[in-house]
Amino acid sequence: MMPKALAYLQLISLEAFIDELKRRSLYEARLSDWIQRRDMFEHRKLRLTALDPTHGLILRYEIVYYQGLAVYSETEELKKSREEAKRRIAERLEAEGIRLLEGEYHTG
């Protein structure tokens, strides 16, 4: 049985995330889309997570692809920004032999 993750390790760059995966011999990551709204503003981001079951740790890296006034219906520009960010992440991980899945690892 896999131990429940006890902590997050938030990384500041995609390169640091990849280096940490390699250091821990992890070859799978998950990608999810987040929208965080506060009042009339929002952040749209892609969250990349990976689980280190040996140490009960979730590695996490976030890429903000939009921040500004809240947009309640997705525009073509937002969709294009998200897809471009996803493509760059997928290409980079694939080049390192890391499998990318949909979803997210979390403590819940």
Tens digit of each residue's pLDDT (9 = 90 or more) over 25-68 = 999 999 999 999 999 999 999 999 999 999 989 999 999 999 99
Structural domain of residue 18, as residue ranges? Answer: 7-101
The answer to whether residue 108 is domain-embedded is no
The answer to whether residue 70 is domain-embedded is yes
The sign of the torsion formed by the CA atoms of 17, 22, 26, 27 equals positive
The answer to whether residue 85 is domain-embedded is yes
Q: How confident is the model at residue 5 (pLDDT cuts 50, 70, 90)?
A: low
Q: How confident is the model at residue 71 (pLDDT cuts 50, 70, 90)?
A: confident
Q: What's the chain's length in residues?
A: 108
What confidence score (pLDDT) does residue 7 get? 87
**What's the whole-model pTM score?**
0.84
Split into its structural domains, the chain has a count of 1
- The rounded distance, in Å, linking the Cα atoms of 24 and 21 is 5
What confidence score (pLDDT) does residue 107 get? 67
The answer to whether residue 76 is domain-embedded is yes
The answer to whether residue 106 is domain-embedded is no
